[in-house]
Amino acid sequence: MTLTLAAAEKILADNFAPWVLDLGLTVESVDGQEAVLRLPWSERLAREGGGLSGQALMAAADTATVIAVAAARGGFVPMTTVQQSISFQRAVVGADVLVRARLTKAGKRMAFADITMTAEGTEETAAHATAVYALLG
């Protein structure tokens, strides 16, 4: 079963804490074992110096991976983050961030993901993460 953009947006709206929803994330695309979310630029999410905060990027990476797992499974699956590691490579100032989560392995009980974050309009990686999830359902 293919996950539609509308279904992915509903998963986002129905399954995340209010503070995650406050990030303003939207689903740009879902395809097989991948999801791309948009994290819109906001002064509220910037740290001193104007760069987008690492906490916002980590939350966006985590959220995008949940949607990628849903894309692979054809719908939402309860899960918990087991591990997330992120490397911040360049500051994002004044631009939306495209968060691409690609599953590298999706089993019955575990999922592994590679997440790349780029400022809109550039191909240069702003942050790169890897993550592992325990699938609970």
Percent of the chain exceeding pLDDT 90 equals 94
The pLDDT of residue 41 is: 96
**For residue 2, pLDDT beyond 90:** no
What angle, 0 to 180 degrees and rounded to 10, lies between the N-to-C axes of helices 54-73 and 5-15?
Answer: 120
Average pLDDT over residues 7-19: 96
The pLDDT of residue 48 is: 86
**For residue 1, pLDDT beyond 70:** no
Please give the C-alpha separations between residue 35 and each of 4, 25, 49, 72, in angstroms, as whole numbers: 11, 12, 30, 10
CA atoms in the 13 A half-sphere facing the CB of 54: 9
Beta-bridge mates of residue 116: 100, 128
Average pLDDT over residues 79-103: 97
**For residue 55, pLDDT beyond 80:** yes
- Kindly state the tokens that stand for 130: 């890897």
Mean pLDDT of the chain: 96
DSSP tag of 52:
B
